[in-house]
Amino acid sequence: MKPPEPARARPGETCTVTFDGRTLTVLPGRTVAAALWAAGVTAWRSTRGTGRPRGVFCGIGVCFDCLVTVNGRPNQRACLVPVRPGDVIRTQEGTGRDDD
């Protein structure tokens, strides 16, 4: 049996964002989590209590493990938030707010 032909998808123009000051090139339509994974980043938050690293767990917006700071707004779920050109993405420490 012949394997199916690959789709002839042609991705649109890439954009750039920054992650902790590092410039990343991102394909259109990706979430923040997908963009970070594609750049080899698998953890972008530390827990409040013990400071353990966290990234994607469920990947569908349920567990809140993937919280990240995007454009100064903490607690954004990286697995749901689409990347926009010029986004400034930062690792989130604890609650991501100054009061913790």
- Minimum distance between the CB of residue 12 and ligand FES, rounded to whole angstroms? 24
Question: Cβ closer to ligand FES: 59 or 94?
Answer: 59
DSSP code per residue over 30-75: -BHHHHHHHTT----EE-TTT--EE--SSSSSSS-TTEEEETTEEE
Applying CB under 6 A, among 16, 58, 71, 82 the residue interacting with ligand FES is 58
Residues numbered 73-92 forming contacts with ligand FES, rule: CB under 6 A: 77, 79
State yes or no: residue 56 binds ligand FES (CB under 6 A). Answer: yes
User: Given its phi and psi angles, is residue 64 left (phi above 0), alpha (psi -120 to 50 degrees) or beta?
Assistant: left
Applying CB under 6 A, among 26, 66, 81, 83 the residue interacting with ligand FES is 66
23 Cβ contact partners less than 8 Å away, ≥ 6 residues apart? 16, 17
State yes or no: residue 94 binds ligand FES (CB under 6 A). Answer: no
State yes or no: residue 63 binds ligand FES (CB under 6 A). Answer: yes
